[in-house]
Amino acid sequence: MAAKENLLKDLCHYLESAENFLNQVEEAETIAPDLIREYQMELVKLQNKHIPAEMCSNVKLIERIMEAETLLDNLKWELENSDNSE
């Protein structure tokens, strides 16, 4: 049971980190507003999955964590890419 609790905490941490980072990017206006909206919609989808995280298996929780990590990685890539194009 402790493993599942840790996974739930990790998922919550990644989702919060993604939300905070996305808010910082939006405030800094470093990427296009339509791209920010796209990432915000993706984050909302991750935060509001049909099945609550508490009901998921450990494998599904790991998948959700990986989805949140990927969202963050993609956003960071967009930032790096936009910096290089200027």
Q: Note the pLDDT tens digit of each residue in 65-86.
A: 999 999 999 999 999 887 654 4
Q: Note the pLDDT tens digit of each residue in 4-17.
A: 999 999 999 999 99
Tokens matching residue 7: 């996974």
Structural domain count of the chain = 1
Q: Average model confidence (pLDDT) for the chain?
A: 91
Q: Note the pLDDT tens digit of each residue in 13-31.
A: 999 999 999 999 999 988 8
Residue 54 and residue 8 in contact, taking contact as beta carbons nearer than 8 Å: yes
Average pLDDT over residues 52-59: 94
Which residue segment(s) compose the domain that 80 sits in? 2-85
pTM for this prediction: 0.86
SS (H, E, C) 21-73: HHHHHHHHCCCCHHHHHHHHHHHHHHHCCCCCHHHCCHHHHHHHHHHHHHHHH
pLDDT surpasses 50 at 58: yes
pLDDT surpasses 80 at 1: no
